[in-house]
Amino acid sequence: MNDELKPYKNILANVARHVTLTESEKELFCSLLRPKKLRKRQYLLQEGDVSRYETFVDKGLLRTYYLDHNGIEHILQFSPENWWTSDLVSFNTGKPSKLSIDALEDSELLQIDKPGMDLLFGRVPKFERFYRIQFQNALVAYANRVVSHLAESAEERYLELSGHCVGLENRIPLKYIASYLGVTPEFLSRLRRKLTKKK
């Protein structure tokens, strides 16, 4: 890898899991990326704005959430390093987002906008395969999340979160994990104590 591409090694490794790029294709892709830094608690996307970027988390941790009419937050997703995030509905339709995304830690991101993606698809068609896989994975994750909320206990959902992203629960405030699981912080505290005793 040449020196100019080294700052992009994480995102290139992420892409390489699904498609193989030539050096010139890597250079084109990286030239379309826009670096962005977020401070802790700073927004990437606010409800009512249009999601104009697909965002790769190079360093840090983001959360995606929905605010209901009672002002209660419902966390849909945590996005640590090497995850992609956006409001896919807003990004693909150009309609205002119903979601908000903010940083739980100081974060370093790489973004690509829709015109950049369209150019990439035209010049490097294999990126359409990569994006299709990303979209399918997002759809599967969403479907699994809906089913787990309907069919699994809070304990099962917590263990799934812990197993899926090892160590992530230590980086996220308890109240946010509780929101993600759909339980109160007090219930989650009791659940964690119970699981600790089982070990």
pLDDT in tens, 126-184: 999 999 998 888 888 777 777 777 677 888 888 887 776 667 878 999 899 999 888 88
Q: Is residue 124 part of a domain?
A: yes
Any idea what DSSP says for residue 199?
Answer: -
Instruction: Name the 3-class secondary structure at 109.
Output: strand
Beta bridge partners of 67: 73
Q: Is residue 143 part of a domain?
A: yes
Q: Is residue 194 part of a domain?
A: no
pLDDT at 162: 77
pLDDT at 165: 67
Q: Is residue 120 part of a domain?
A: yes
- Residue 130 is part of a domain; what is its CATH number? 2.60.120.10
User: How many structural domains are present in the chain?
Assistant: 1
pLDDT at 25: 96
Mean pLDDT of the chain: 91
> Which two three-digit tokens encode residue 104?
């739980």
CB 96 within 8 A of CB 118: no
- How sure is the predictor about 199, in pLDDT bands with cuts at 50, 70 and 90? low
57 Cβ contact list (under 8 Å, min separation 6): 79, 80, 81, 82, 83, 84, 85, 107, 109
Outline where DSSP puts E strands in 39-152.
43-45, 53-59, 62-67, 73-79, 84-85, 100-103, 107-113
